[in-house]
Protein backbone atom coordinates (compact mmCIF):
# COMPACT_ATOMS: atom_id res chain seq x y z
CA UNK A 1 0.00 0.00 0.00
CA UNK A 2 1.13 3.54 -0.80
CA UNK A 3 0.18 6.19 1.74
CA UNK A 4 0.55 9.94 1.35
CA UNK A 5 0.08 11.97 4.52
CA UNK A 6 -0.25 15.75 4.28
CA UNK A 7 2.15 15.92 1.35
CA UNK A 8 2.97 19.45 0.19
CA UNK A 9 5.42 20.60 -2.47
CA UNK A 10 6.23 24.27 -2.89
CA UNK A 11 8.27 25.61 -5.82
CA UNK A 12 9.06 29.25 -5.06
CA UNK A 13 5.70 30.99 -5.20
CA UNK A 14 3.81 27.94 -6.53
CA UNK A 15 2.23 25.38 -4.25
CA UNK A 16 2.26 22.49 -6.73
CA UNK A 17 0.92 19.94 -4.22
CA UNK A 18 -1.15 21.19 -1.32
CA UNK A 19 -1.57 19.02 1.76
CA UNK A 20 -2.54 15.82 -0.06
CA UNK A 21 -3.44 12.70 1.92
CA UNK A 22 -4.50 9.49 0.26
CA UNK A 23 -3.98 5.73 0.27
CA UNK A 24 -3.55 3.41 -2.68
CA UNK A 25 -4.31 -0.17 -1.61
CA UNK A 26 -1.81 -2.83 -2.74
CA UNK A 27 -2.72 -4.35 -6.09
CA UNK A 28 -5.03 -1.54 -7.15
CA UNK A 29 -4.88 1.16 -9.80
CA UNK A 30 -5.23 4.76 -8.69
CA UNK A 31 -5.62 7.39 -11.42
CA UNK A 32 -4.56 10.97 -10.68
CA UNK A 33 -6.85 13.11 -12.80
CA UNK A 34 -7.20 16.83 -13.35
CA UNK A 35 -6.44 19.75 -15.63
CA UNK A 36 -2.95 20.71 -16.75
CA UNK A 37 -0.81 22.15 -13.99
CA UNK A 38 -2.93 20.79 -11.12
CA UNK A 39 -0.01 18.86 -9.60
CA UNK A 40 -0.40 15.31 -10.92
CA UNK A 41 3.18 14.82 -12.09
CA UNK A 42 4.60 16.48 -9.00
CA UNK A 43 2.52 14.23 -6.72
CA UNK A 44 3.63 11.16 -8.69
CA UNK A 45 7.29 12.12 -8.45
CA UNK A 46 7.15 12.52 -4.68
CA UNK A 47 6.33 8.80 -4.48
CA UNK A 48 9.71 7.68 -5.86
CA UNK A 49 11.38 10.81 -4.45
CA UNK A 50 12.37 12.24 -7.80
CA UNK A 51 10.89 15.23 -6.00
CA UNK A 52 11.32 15.53 -2.25
CA UNK A 53 8.14 16.88 -0.64
CA UNK A 54 8.43 20.21 1.20
CA UNK A 55 6.48 18.60 4.03
CA UNK A 56 4.45 15.50 4.75
CA UNK A 57 5.18 11.82 4.71
CA UNK A 58 5.01 9.04 2.11
CA UNK A 59 5.20 5.38 2.96
CA UNK A 60 5.13 2.20 0.90
CA UNK A 61 4.02 -0.93 2.74
CA UNK A 62 4.42 0.94 6.00
CA UNK A 63 8.01 2.03 5.29
CA UNK A 64 8.72 5.75 5.21
CA UNK A 65 10.29 6.36 1.79
CA UNK A 66 12.49 9.11 3.25
CA UNK A 67 14.27 6.41 5.24
CA UNK A 68 15.00 4.18 2.20
CA UNK A 69 18.11 4.70 0.09
CA UNK A 70 16.92 6.50 -3.09
CA UNK A 71 18.56 4.10 -5.56
CA UNK A 72 17.04 1.07 -3.84
CA UNK A 73 13.68 2.83 -3.72
CA UNK A 74 13.66 3.66 -7.44
CA UNK A 75 14.70 0.17 -8.49
CA UNK A 76 11.65 -1.20 -6.71
CA UNK A 77 9.34 1.23 -8.49
CA UNK A 78 8.69 1.12 -12.23
CA UNK A 79 8.35 4.58 -13.68
CA UNK A 80 6.92 5.70 -17.02
CA UNK A 81 7.68 9.38 -17.44
CA UNK A 82 5.44 11.81 -19.27
CA UNK A 83 7.73 12.33 -22.30
CA UNK A 84 8.84 8.65 -22.39
CA UNK A 85 12.45 9.55 -21.46
CA UNK A 86 14.10 6.79 -23.48
CA UNK A 87 17.89 7.09 -23.73
CA UNK A 88 18.48 8.22 -27.34
CA UNK A 89 21.88 6.53 -27.64
CA UNK A 90 20.58 3.13 -26.52
CA UNK A 91 18.54 0.65 -28.56
CA UNK A 92 15.03 -0.33 -27.50
CA UNK A 93 16.45 -3.54 -26.04
CA UNK A 94 19.12 -1.67 -24.06
CA UNK A 95 16.55 0.80 -22.81
CA UNK A 96 14.27 -1.97 -21.56
CA UNK A 97 17.07 -3.89 -19.83
CA UNK A 98 18.53 -0.92 -17.90
CA UNK A 99 17.12 -1.90 -14.52
CA UNK A 100 17.63 -5.67 -14.97
CA UNK A 101 21.27 -4.91 -15.90
CA UNK A 102 21.67 -2.78 -12.79
CA UNK A 103 20.19 -5.61 -10.76
CA UNK A 104 22.77 -7.97 -12.26
CA UNK A 105 20.44 -10.27 -14.21
CA UNK A 106 22.25 -12.44 -16.71
CA UNK A 107 22.22 -11.18 -20.28
CA UNK A 108 20.12 -14.07 -21.66
CA UNK A 109 17.41 -13.57 -19.10
CA UNK A 110 17.12 -9.82 -19.60
CA UNK A 111 17.06 -10.22 -23.40
CA UNK A 112 14.28 -12.77 -23.18
CA UNK A 113 12.46 -10.39 -20.90
CA UNK A 114 12.85 -7.49 -23.34
CA UNK A 115 11.40 -9.52 -26.21
CA UNK A 116 8.53 -10.77 -24.06
CA UNK A 117 7.67 -7.24 -22.90
CA UNK A 118 7.68 -5.87 -26.45
CA UNK A 119 5.22 -8.57 -27.47
CA UNK A 120 3.10 -7.56 -24.56
CA UNK A 121 2.87 -3.94 -25.67
CA UNK A 122 2.11 -5.07 -29.23
CA UNK A 123 5.46 -4.31 -30.83
CA UNK A 124 7.17 -7.01 -32.87
CA UNK A 125 10.51 -7.78 -31.13
CA UNK A 126 12.03 -8.82 -34.46
CA UNK A 127 11.37 -5.32 -35.79
CA UNK A 128 11.89 -3.11 -32.76
CA UNK A 129 14.52 -4.57 -30.38
CA UNK A 130 17.47 -3.11 -32.29
CA UNK A 131 15.91 0.24 -33.15
CA UNK A 132 16.88 3.55 -31.58
CA UNK A 133 14.28 5.86 -29.99
CA UNK A 134 14.50 8.35 -32.88
CA UNK A 135 13.32 5.56 -35.20
CA UNK A 136 10.06 5.19 -33.25
CA UNK A 137 6.76 7.05 -33.50
CA UNK A 138 5.58 8.82 -30.35
CA UNK A 139 3.12 6.04 -29.52
CA UNK A 140 5.70 3.31 -30.10
CA UNK A 141 8.17 5.14 -27.84
CA UNK A 142 5.50 5.31 -25.13
CA UNK A 143 4.92 1.60 -25.38
CA UNK A 144 8.64 0.94 -25.03
CA UNK A 145 8.51 3.22 -21.97
CA UNK A 146 5.81 1.00 -20.46
CA UNK A 147 7.82 -2.14 -21.26
CA UNK A 148 10.88 -0.62 -19.62
CA UNK A 149 8.97 0.22 -16.43
CA UNK A 150 7.80 -3.40 -16.17
CA UNK A 151 11.20 -4.92 -16.93
CA UNK A 152 12.34 -5.87 -13.43
CA UNK A 153 8.80 -6.76 -12.35
CA UNK A 154 8.56 -4.07 -9.64
CA UNK A 155 5.61 -4.24 -7.21
CA UNK A 156 4.85 -0.54 -7.67
CA UNK A 157 4.34 1.24 -10.99
CA UNK A 158 4.13 4.99 -11.51
CA UNK A 159 2.87 5.94 -14.95
CA UNK A 160 2.63 9.52 -16.16
CA UNK A 161 0.19 9.73 -19.09
CA UNK A 162 1.74 6.57 -20.51
CA UNK A 163 -0.69 6.27 -23.42
CA UNK A 164 -1.15 9.98 -24.18
CA UNK A 165 0.59 9.90 -27.58
CA UNK A 166 -1.14 6.78 -28.89
CA UNK A 167 -4.05 7.03 -31.34
CA UNK A 168 -7.50 6.17 -29.92
CA UNK A 169 -7.71 2.71 -31.46
CA UNK A 170 -4.28 1.54 -30.34
CA UNK A 171 -4.81 3.27 -27.01
CA UNK A 172 -7.89 1.12 -26.37
CA UNK A 173 -5.89 -1.96 -27.34
CA UNK A 174 -2.97 -1.17 -25.06
CA UNK A 175 -5.29 -0.15 -22.22
CA UNK A 176 -7.04 -3.51 -22.54
CA UNK A 177 -3.71 -5.33 -22.65
CA UNK A 178 -2.53 -3.44 -19.63
CA UNK A 179 -5.70 -4.26 -17.69
CA UNK A 180 -5.36 -7.96 -18.55
CA UNK A 181 -1.78 -7.88 -17.38
CA UNK A 182 -2.74 -6.00 -14.24
CA UNK A 183 -5.43 -8.58 -13.40
CA UNK A 184 -2.62 -11.15 -13.40
CA UNK A 185 0.28 -9.19 -11.90
CA UNK A 186 -1.69 -7.10 -9.37
CA UNK A 187 0.81 -4.24 -9.25
CA UNK A 188 0.13 -1.21 -7.12
CA UNK A 189 -0.25 1.43 -9.82
CA UNK A 190 -0.46 5.20 -9.69
CA UNK A 191 -1.42 6.43 -13.13
CA UNK A 192 -1.64 10.02 -14.27
CA UNK A 193 -4.21 10.93 -16.89
CA UNK A 194 -6.18 13.95 -17.97
CA UNK A 195 -8.65 11.77 -19.83
CA UNK A 196 -11.78 10.96 -17.84
CA UNK A 197 -12.67 8.03 -20.12
CA UNK A 198 -9.26 6.46 -19.58
CA UNK A 199 -9.58 7.03 -15.83
CA UNK A 200 -13.03 5.45 -15.67
CA UNK A 201 -11.79 2.47 -17.62
CA UNK A 202 -8.54 1.83 -15.76
CA UNK A 203 -9.04 3.01 -12.18
CA UNK A 204 -10.08 1.27 -9.02
CA UNK A 205 -9.89 4.72 -7.42
CA UNK A 206 -9.78 8.15 -9.06
CA UNK A 207 -8.12 11.12 -7.36
CA UNK A 208 -9.30 14.45 -8.79
CA UNK A 209 -6.88 17.35 -8.34
CA UNK A 210 -7.33 21.08 -8.67
CA UNK A 211 -4.59 23.65 -7.99
CA UNK A 212 -2.53 21.10 -6.07
CA UNK A 213 -5.39 20.02 -3.85
CA UNK A 214 -7.06 16.62 -3.79
CA UNK A 215 -10.74 17.43 -4.35
CA UNK A 216 -12.29 13.96 -4.45
CA UNK A 217 -11.01 10.43 -4.05
CA UNK A 218 -13.52 7.80 -5.05
CA UNK A 219 -14.23 4.71 -7.13
CA UNK A 220 -15.13 5.60 -10.74
CA UNK A 221 -18.83 4.84 -10.51
CA UNK A 222 -19.12 6.73 -7.24
CA UNK A 223 -17.33 9.73 -8.73
CA UNK A 224 -19.62 9.76 -11.76
CA UNK A 225 -22.77 9.25 -9.70
CA UNK A 226 -21.87 11.62 -6.87
CA UNK A 227 -19.36 14.31 -7.85
CA UNK A 228 -18.31 16.22 -4.73
CA UNK A 229 -18.78 19.68 -6.22
CA UNK A 230 -19.39 21.55 -9.46
CA UNK A 231 -15.70 21.46 -10.42
CA UNK A 232 -15.71 17.67 -10.37
CA UNK A 233 -19.10 17.53 -12.09
CA UNK A 234 -17.81 19.81 -14.88
CA UNK A 235 -14.57 17.88 -15.16
CA UNK A 236 -16.24 14.47 -15.51
CA UNK A 237 -18.68 15.96 -18.03
CA UNK A 238 -22.39 16.51 -18.39
CA UNK A 239 -22.63 13.04 -19.93
CA UNK A 240 -21.38 11.44 -16.74
CA UNK A 241 -24.39 9.15 -16.47
CA UNK A 242 -23.63 7.82 -19.95
CA UNK A 243 -20.04 7.20 -18.87
CA UNK A 244 -21.33 4.99 -16.08
CA UNK A 245 -22.73 2.62 -18.70
CA UNK A 246 -19.21 1.35 -19.20
CA UNK A 247 -18.86 0.34 -15.58
CA UNK A 248 -22.00 -1.76 -15.32
CA UNK A 249 -22.36 -5.25 -16.83
CA UNK A 250 -25.46 -6.48 -18.60
CA UNK A 251 -25.52 -9.31 -16.03
CA UNK A 252 -26.06 -6.72 -13.27
CA UNK A 253 -29.32 -5.36 -14.69
CA UNK A 254 -30.77 -8.22 -16.72
CA UNK A 255 -33.90 -10.09 -15.79
CA UNK A 256 -32.22 -13.39 -15.03
CA UNK A 257 -35.39 -15.42 -14.60
CA UNK A 258 -36.70 -14.89 -18.08
CA UNK A 259 -39.88 -16.35 -19.45
CA UNK A 260 -39.40 -18.23 -22.71
CA UNK A 261 -41.28 -20.50 -25.07
CA UNK A 262 -40.39 -23.51 -27.20
CA UNK A 263 -41.06 -24.25 -30.87
CA UNK A 264 -43.84 -26.74 -30.06
CA UNK A 265 -45.74 -24.32 -27.75
CA UNK A 266 -49.10 -23.02 -29.05
CA UNK A 267 -49.30 -19.31 -29.85
CA UNK A 268 -52.17 -18.86 -27.37
CA UNK A 269 -49.92 -20.17 -24.58
CA UNK A 270 -47.14 -17.83 -25.67
CA UNK A 271 -49.58 -14.88 -25.67
CA UNK A 272 -50.78 -15.80 -22.18
CA UNK A 273 -47.18 -15.89 -20.90
CA UNK A 274 -46.43 -12.46 -22.36
CA UNK A 275 -49.65 -10.96 -20.97
CA UNK A 276 -48.86 -12.32 -17.54
CA UNK A 277 -45.34 -10.86 -17.61
CA UNK A 278 -46.45 -7.61 -19.26
CA UNK A 279 -44.04 -8.14 -22.17
CA UNK A 280 -44.67 -7.57 -25.86
CA UNK A 281 -42.35 -10.32 -27.05
CA UNK A 282 -40.82 -13.55 -25.80
CA UNK A 283 -37.76 -15.58 -26.71
CA UNK A 284 -38.04 -19.06 -28.16
CA UNK A 285 -35.35 -21.50 -27.01
CA UNK A 286 -34.18 -24.80 -28.51
CA UNK A 287 -34.21 -28.16 -26.72
CA UNK A 288 -31.00 -27.40 -24.74
CA UNK A 289 -31.95 -23.82 -23.88
CA UNK A 290 -30.19 -22.00 -26.70
CA UNK A 291 -31.86 -18.82 -27.96
CA UNK A 292 -33.42 -19.53 -31.37
CA UNK A 293 -35.68 -16.55 -32.04
CA UNK A 294 -38.65 -14.67 -30.66
CA UNK A 295 -42.34 -14.14 -31.19
CA UNK A 296 -44.30 -10.92 -30.59
CA UNK A 297 -47.55 -10.59 -28.68
CA UNK A 298 -49.21 -9.19 -31.79
CA UNK A 299 -48.38 -12.29 -33.81
CA UNK A 300 -49.21 -14.66 -30.97
CA UNK A 301 -52.66 -13.06 -30.70
CA UNK A 302 -53.45 -12.76 -34.37
CA UNK A 303 -52.29 -16.09 -35.79
CA UNK A 304 -52.95 -19.76 -35.19
CA UNK A 305 -50.49 -22.60 -34.73
CA UNK A 306 -47.21 -23.11 -32.90
CA UNK A 307 -44.39 -20.73 -31.99
CA UNK A 308 -42.10 -22.75 -34.28
CA UNK A 309 -44.27 -21.87 -37.29
CA UNK A 310 -44.30 -18.12 -36.62
CA UNK A 311 -41.09 -17.09 -34.83
CA UNK A 312 -38.66 -14.49 -36.13
CA UNK A 313 -34.88 -14.52 -35.86
CA UNK A 314 -33.36 -12.39 -33.09
CA UNK A 315 -31.94 -9.36 -34.89
CA UNK A 316 -29.06 -9.20 -32.42
CA UNK A 317 -28.15 -10.27 -28.89
CA UNK A 318 -25.80 -9.19 -26.09
CA UNK A 319 -23.66 -11.17 -23.70
CA UNK A 320 -24.20 -10.92 -19.93
CA UNK A 321 -20.48 -10.02 -19.78
CA UNK A 322 -20.90 -7.00 -22.08
CA UNK A 323 -21.10 -3.56 -20.53
CA UNK A 324 -24.22 -1.44 -20.71
CA UNK A 325 -22.58 0.88 -23.20
CA UNK A 326 -22.51 -1.97 -25.70
CA UNK A 327 -26.09 -2.93 -24.85
CA UNK A 328 -27.48 0.60 -25.20
CA UNK A 329 -25.57 1.28 -28.35
CA UNK A 330 -26.92 -1.97 -29.85
CA UNK A 331 -30.48 -1.05 -28.85
CA UNK A 332 -30.17 2.41 -30.39
CA UNK A 333 -28.63 1.08 -33.58
CA UNK A 334 -31.39 -1.53 -33.98
CA UNK A 335 -34.22 0.64 -32.71
CA UNK A 336 -35.28 -1.94 -30.11
CA UNK A 337 -36.16 -1.53 -26.46
CA UNK A 338 -34.99 -4.93 -25.26
CA UNK A 339 -32.30 -7.45 -26.05
CA UNK A 340 -31.93 -11.14 -25.37
CA UNK A 341 -28.80 -11.94 -23.34
CA UNK A 342 -27.01 -14.97 -24.69
CA UNK A 343 -23.76 -16.42 -23.34
CA UNK A 344 -20.83 -17.48 -25.47
CA UNK A 345 -22.26 -20.98 -25.93
CA UNK A 346 -25.54 -19.60 -27.23
CA UNK A 347 -27.59 -20.26 -24.09
CA UNK A 348 -30.40 -17.85 -23.30
CA UNK A 349 -29.67 -16.09 -19.99
CA UNK A 350 -32.18 -13.28 -19.70
CA UNK A 351 -33.48 -9.99 -21.01
CA UNK A 352 -32.12 -6.51 -20.70
CA UNK A 353 -34.52 -3.63 -21.34
CA UNK A 354 -34.12 0.13 -21.76
CA UNK A 355 -36.40 0.59 -18.77
CA UNK A 356 -34.31 -1.80 -16.67
CA UNK A 357 -31.20 0.19 -17.50
CA UNK A 358 -32.66 3.63 -16.77
CA UNK A 359 -34.11 2.26 -13.56
CA UNK A 360 -30.77 0.80 -12.40
CA UNK A 361 -28.95 4.07 -13.10
CA UNK A 362 -31.69 6.21 -11.55
CA UNK A 363 -31.82 4.08 -8.38
CA UNK A 364 -28.27 5.09 -7.38
CA UNK A 365 -29.21 8.79 -7.55
CA UNK A 366 -32.33 8.22 -5.48
CA UNK A 367 -30.34 6.32 -2.82
CA UNK A 368 -27.71 9.05 -2.73
N1 LIG B 1 10.44 22.35 -11.09
C2 LIG B 1 9.44 23.23 -10.98
N3 LIG B 1 9.68 24.51 -10.65
C4 LIG B 1 8.68 25.40 -10.51
N5 LIG B 1 7.38 25.10 -10.70
C6 LIG B 1 7.08 23.86 -11.05
C7 LIG B 1 8.07 22.85 -11.22
N8 LIG B 1 7.47 21.69 -11.57
C9 LIG B 1 6.15 21.96 -11.63
N10 LIG B 1 5.90 23.25 -11.32
C11 LIG B 1 4.59 23.89 -11.24
O12 LIG B 1 3.78 23.12 -10.38
C13 LIG B 1 2.44 23.01 -10.88
C14 LIG B 1 2.09 21.55 -11.04
O15 LIG B 1 2.86 20.98 -12.08
P16 LIG B 1 2.71 19.46 -12.53
O17 LIG B 1 3.77 19.18 -13.51
O18 LIG B 1 2.66 18.62 -11.31
O19 LIG B 1 1.28 19.50 -13.23
P20 LIG B 1 0.47 18.35 -14.00
O21 LIG B 1 -0.82 18.22 -13.28
O22 LIG B 1 1.31 17.15 -14.15
O23 LIG B 1 0.20 19.03 -15.41
P24 LIG B 1 0.16 18.40 -16.91
O25 LIG B 1 -1.20 17.76 -17.06
O26 LIG B 1 0.29 19.61 -17.78
O27 LIG B 1 1.29 17.44 -17.04
C28 LIG B 1 2.43 23.82 -12.16
O29 LIG B 1 1.94 25.09 -11.87
C30 LIG B 1 3.88 23.87 -12.59
O31 LIG B 1 4.15 25.05 -13.31
MG1 LIG C 1 2.13 16.20 -15.79
Which ligand is the nearest neighbour of the Cα of 20? 1
Which ligand places an atom closest to the C-alpha of 42?
1
- The Å distance, Cα 166 to ligand 1 centre, comes to 22
Which CATH fold would you assign to the domain 2-246? Rossmann fold (3.40.50)
Atom of ligand 1 nearest to the CA of 212: 14
Nearest protein Cα to ligand 1, atom 7: 11
CB neighbour list of residue 260: distance below 8 Å, 6 or more residues apart: 282, 283, 284, 285, 348
Whose Cα sits closest to atom 5 in ligand 1?
11
pLDDT at 278: 87
- Domain ranges in the chain? 2-246, 250-364
Q: In whole angstroms, give the CA distance from residue 327 to residue 7.
A: 43
Residue 308 CA to ligand 1 centre (angstroms): 67
Nearest ligand to the CA of 51 is 1
* Architecture of the structural domain at 250-364: Roll (3.10)
On whether the CB atoms of residues 77 and 65 are closer than 8 A, the answer is: no
pLDDT digits (tens, 9 = 90+) for 245-258: 989 999 999 998 88
Q: In the prediction, which pLDDT does 286 show?
A: 96
Ligand 1, residue 39: give the atom nearest the CA.
18
How do residues 10-58 score in pLDDT, each as one tens digit?
999 999 999 999 999 999 999 999 999 999 999 999 999 999 999 999 9
Query: What confidence score (pLDDT) does residue 176 get?
Result: 87
Nearest-angstrom CA–CA distance, 224 and 204: 13
- 83 C-beta closer than 6 A to ligand 1: no
Best of 18, 40, 165 for a ligand 1 pocket test (most atoms within 8 Å of beta carbon): 40
**What's the gap in Å between 78 CA and the centre of ligand 1?**
21
Output the tens digit of pLDDT for each of the chain's 368 residues.
999 999 999 999 999 999 999 999 999 999 999 999 999 999 999 999 999 999 999 999 999 999 999 988 988 899 988 777 899 999 999 999 998 998 889 999 999 999 999 998 889 999 999 999 999 988 888 889 989 998 988 999 999 998 887 888 888 888 888 888 889 889 999 999 989 999 999 999 999 999 999 999 999 999 999 999 999 999 999 899 899 998 999 999 999 888 999 999 999 999 999 999 888 999 999 999 999 999 999 999 999 999 999 999 998 999 999 999 999 999 999 999 999 999 999 999 999 999 999 998 888 776 54
pLDDT value of position 367: 54
Measured in Å, residue 14 CA sits from the centre of ligand 1 at 9
Query: What is the reported pLDDT for 264?
Result: 96
Neighbours of 108 (CB within 10 A): 8
Amino acid sequence: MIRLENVTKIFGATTAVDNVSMEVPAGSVCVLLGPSGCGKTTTLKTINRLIAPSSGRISIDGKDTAAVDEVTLRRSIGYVIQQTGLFPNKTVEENITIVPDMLGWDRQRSRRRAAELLEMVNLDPGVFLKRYPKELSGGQAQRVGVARALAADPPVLLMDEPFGAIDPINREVIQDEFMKLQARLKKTVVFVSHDIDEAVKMADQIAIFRDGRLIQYAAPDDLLAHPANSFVADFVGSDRTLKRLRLIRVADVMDANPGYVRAEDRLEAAAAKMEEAGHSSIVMVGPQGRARGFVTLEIARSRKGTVGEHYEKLPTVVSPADDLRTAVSTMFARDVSWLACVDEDGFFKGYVTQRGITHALGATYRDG
